[in-house]
Structure 1
Amino acid sequence: MRLSTSLTYAGDPRAAADEVASWERAGLDIVWVSEAYGFDAPTIMGYLGARTERVQIGSSILPLFSRTPALLAQTAAGLDAVSGGRAILGLGASGPQVIEGWHGVPYDRPVARTREIIEICRAAWRREILQHDGIYQLPLPGGLGKPLKMLTHPVRDRIPIYIAALGESNVRLTAALAEGWLPFLYVPEKAADVWGSALSAGLARRSPDMPPLEVVAGGLLAIGDDVTGLRDLARPLIALYVGGVGARSRNFYHDLVARYGYEAEADKIQELYLAGRKDEAAAAVPAELLERTSLVGTASYVRDRLQAFAESGVTVLNVTPVGDSARLLAQVRELMTA
């Protein structure tokens, strides 16, 4: 497995770049830059490209609805150029609250949009004249637009596209068309039960010219003899996603945790969170879910978790270190190669 981690939404980007340089020296392979409704990710990614030498730099994620497909292609090509071919275009649908509340764009047809954006981006990187007839109309019918191709020459004509997907249709599309898959709240022991059929169906349609699908998953990381209590640090985040990211009737993370076998717990977390009782919602997150979505424990325990993630198909271990990030990344890198 390769090793990755993510930058948080907040903080000083310049100080974060110093950290990423130290993580690179510790053996990090990929750094992911998030974008919700704080700083935009590409600006930070471009700065990281100038401050690092080897690590790949990926967006996790750029929302499908916030940019046109052509702009997504331009952005990825520009990042790939300034980083010397180290960009990863991570895409995802986000959710109705952010897309409609922050961007003011209707949240509709996310899976179909994903497919069309992949097609248009790859055509743009090949410097083909963009003509598309679907949700995205290129050129726009009845107007003054003309078919165009990218002015500049991308460093690569096939920049890797990773998709954040949880639902069956989106996972199936990701397995068929994308270079990588970014699941969230990944439980390796349950992955085959929840996603196995969708992955198999998508992989059956995957072109033989495509590389093997990369699977990026992991969780909180802490290594030591008395660290298991640190798993509780994930409670507020899991409660936020299961309880508050999305409406009561449409929350992908709630549905995922329910599919893992925690249906009653997911309902309780959502009920408490939406009632404003966030601390109680966090307390309701099952201890077993915290354990299975993390790598927190002794070195031998973390080694066992590494094996579980690898055996489930994970190819990129994505961790959130608690403590000295560079030291922990070096430790887990050593465990991965032992």
Structure 2
Amino acid sequence: MRLSVPLQYAGDPIRLMEQVVALERAGLDAVWVAEAYGFDAPTLMGYLAARTERLLIGSAILPIYSRTPALIAQTAAGLDAVSGGRALLGLGASGPQVIEGWHGVRYDKPLGRTREVVDLCRRIWRREVISNDGIYPLPLPGGTGLGKPLKLLTRPVRDSIPIYVASLGDKNVELTAEIADGWLPTLFLPEKASAVWGKALAAGRARRTVEAPLDVVAGGLLAIGDDVAGLRDIARASIALYVGGMGARDRNFYNDLMRRYGYEDEARTIQDLYLAGRKDEAAAAVPAEFLELSSLVGPAGHVKERVEAYREAGVTMLNVTPVGPDPVADVRTVREWLG
């Protein structure tokens, strides 16, 4: 099992990236750079490529609606070049709140778009002459008529950059297991994950088009100590934001996930409070059990058990957010456990 951390999209990016540099020395394997509607991820990823030596650098995620497939492929190839082959391309559909509200792009056909973007990226990195019939017609019909099929001008460091897909719904998770190198779930509860996603993952794996097994990236807050259990509460505001406010009342993927985990009443309460502007109360309504199952916080023995729970749930890259007094020491300890 490899070890990674997410670079949050809030806060001072330079300070956060300096911490990542220190964590690399402690044995960290990868960093995932978020974007949402904050700073763009590729800029920060390029900075990390210059400041680190062996760390894998992934986007988590680049929304497929915010860039053309060709630009996504170019960006990943450029990062792979300046990092010496350390890029991981994390993609996702995001949601209509961000895509239509921030990017001004219609949120439609997320599954079809994901499939075509992944296919086009791989063809572009192989330097094929690109034409495409589908959601992204290339060359563009009905334009000036001057468009022509092209291939990538520069030669990529690798002709196959690993592609990870963020997905939650059954159809999207099934597609991820079929075509992606890795899966980026969120709000992952190891003990409940199989009941929620097991059938979708099995169906996708049965049609898998990638030779290597699916890499599964999941984790949570990390703090090791006898008196750190209260740090789990740090996640309350973020969980309330996603479950309560990241989407409309009848179209919130994170709220749906909490319900599928069995927290139907709690998900409804959190959403009602959040949409009413009572954000602190929404955060307080996040179940303590949910916080415990989605984190690695507590005495060393407990955290070690949580690591094994993620391993047993099929996680192959443990993605942790260090929140304890000594993040470097905690990452080093987990690295030693993982071997």
Does the pair score TM above 0.5?
yes
Residues 164-201 of structure 1 deviation map (CA, whole Å, 9 limit, x = unaligned): 00000110010010000000000111111000000000
Contact kept? 1:63, 1:92, Cα under 8 Å: yes
Shift of residue 18, structure 1, vs aligned partner: 2.4
SS in 1 for 2:118: helix
Aligned Cα root-mean-square deviation (Å): 1.0
Task: Summarize the alignment of residues 92-107 of structure 1 with structure 2, pairs less than 5 Å apart.
Answer: 92-107=92-107
Task: Decide which moves more: 16-25 or 243-252.
Answer: 16-25
Contact kept? 2:7, 2:17, Cα under 8 Å: no
Aligned residue identity for 1:45: M
Aligned counterparts of 1:16 and 1:222: Cα–Cα separation in 2: 17
Shift of residue 325, structure 1, vs aligned partner: 2.0
SS in 2 for 1:138: coil
Distance 1:283 1:10, change over 3 A: closer
Aligned counterpart, 1:240? 241
Aligned counterpart, 2:269? 268
Residues 46-81 of structure 1 deviation map (CA, whole Å, 9 limit, x = unaligned): 111011000100000000100000000000000000
Aligned counterpart, 2:156? 154
Residues 103-130 of structure 1 deviation map (CA, whole Å, 9 limit, x = unaligned): 1001111111000000000000000011
Aligned residue identity for 1:281: A
SS in 1 for 2:65: helix
Shift of residue 16, structure 1, vs aligned partner: 3.1
Aligned residue identity for 1:302: V
Aligned counterpart, 1:314? 315
Aligned counterpart, 1:89? 89
Shift of residue 23, structure 1, vs aligned partner: 0.7
Task: Summarize the alignment of residues 73-88 of structure 1 with structure 2, pairs less than 5 Å apart.
Answer: 73-88=73-88
Residues 234-260 of structure 1 deviation map (CA, whole Å, 9 limit, x = unaligned): 111101000000000100000000000
Aligned counterpart, 1:330? 332
Aligned counterpart, 1:183? 185
SS in 1 for 2:22: helix
Shift of residue 283, structure 1, vs aligned partner: 0.8
Aligned counterpart, 1:44? 44
Shift of residue 335, structure 1, vs aligned partner: 2.5
Shift of residue 294, structure 1, vs aligned partner: 0.4
Aligned residue identity for 1:9: Y
TM-score (norm. length: structure 2): 0.97
Corresponding position: 1:127 with 2:127:
yes
Aligned residue identity for 2:165: I
Shift of residue 11, structure 1, vs aligned partner: 3.5
Residues 248-298 of structure 1 deviation map (CA, whole Å, 9 limit, x = unaligned): 010000000000000111001001100001111111111110100000111
Aligned residue identity for 1:164: A
Contact kept? 1:34, 1:41, Cα under 8 Å: yes
Aligned counterpart, 2:66? 66
Gaps of 5+ in 1: none
Task: Decide which moves more: 325-334 or 72-81.
Answer: 325-334
Amino-acid identity (%): 71
Aligned counterpart, 1:289? 290
Contact kept? 2:131, 2:139, Cα under 8 Å: yes
Aligned residue identity for 1:44: L
Aligned counterparts of 1:303 and 1:11: Cα–Cα separation in 2: 29
Aligned counterpart, 1:33? 33
Aligned counterpart, 2:57? 57
Gaps of 5+ in 2: none
Aligned counterparts of 1:139 and 1:319: Cα–Cα separation in 2: 42
Contact kept? 1:244, 1:270, Cα under 8 Å: yes
SS in 1 for 2:88: strand
Shift of residue 327, structure 1, vs aligned partner: 1.7
Contact kept? 1:303, 1:336, Cα under 8 Å: no
